Chains A and B, each alone.
Chain A
Amino acid sequence: MAGRVIVITSGKGGVGKTTTTANLGAGLAALGRRVCLVDADIGLRNLDVVMGLENRIVYDLVEVVEGHARLRNALIKDKRLEGLFLLPAAQTREKDAVSPEQMRTLCAQLAEEFDYVLVDSPAGIEHGFRNAIAGAHEAIIVTTPEVAAVRDADRIIGLLEANDLPNPRLVINRLRPQMVRRGDMMDIDDVIEILAIDLLGVVPDDEAIIVATNRGEPIVISGRTKSAQAYRNIVRRIEGEDVPFMQLEEDGWVDRLRNLVGIGRKKTRGA
Chain B
Amino acid sequence: MLEFIGKLFRGEEDASKRVAKERLRLVLVQDRMSLSPQALNAMKEELIAVISKYLEIDEAGPEVSLERDGESVALVATIPVKRVTGLARAGR
* Binary contact readout A175-210 vs B (1 if CB under 8 angstroms, 0 otherwise): 000001011111100100010000000000000000
For chain B, the count of residues having a C-beta within 8 Å of the partner chain is 19
The reply on B75 being an interface residue by CB < 8 A is no
Q: Which residues in window 1-60 of B have CB below 8 A to A?
A: 8-12, 14-18, 20-21, 23-25, 27-28, 31-32
* Binary contact readout A155-191 vs B (1 if CB under 8 angstroms, 0 otherwise): 1001000000000000000000000101111110010
Q: Is the CB of A151 within 8 A of B24?
A: yes
Q: Is the CB of B31 within 8 A of A194?
A: no
Instruction: Assess A194 versus B17: contact at CB under 8 Å? Given A147-B23, A263-B9.
Output: no
- B28 contact set on A, CB distance < 8 A: 151, 154, 194
- B23 contact set on A, CB distance < 8 A: 147
- A147 contact set on B, CB distance < 8 A: 20, 23-24, 27
Q: Contact partner of B25 among A184, A187, A194, A254, CB < 8 A? A: A194
- B11 contact set on A, CB distance < 8 A: 183
Q: Who on chain B is nearest to A155 by CB?
A: B31
Residues of A within 8 A of B (CB): 146-147, 150-151, 154-155, 158, 180, 182-187, 190, 194, 254, 258, 263
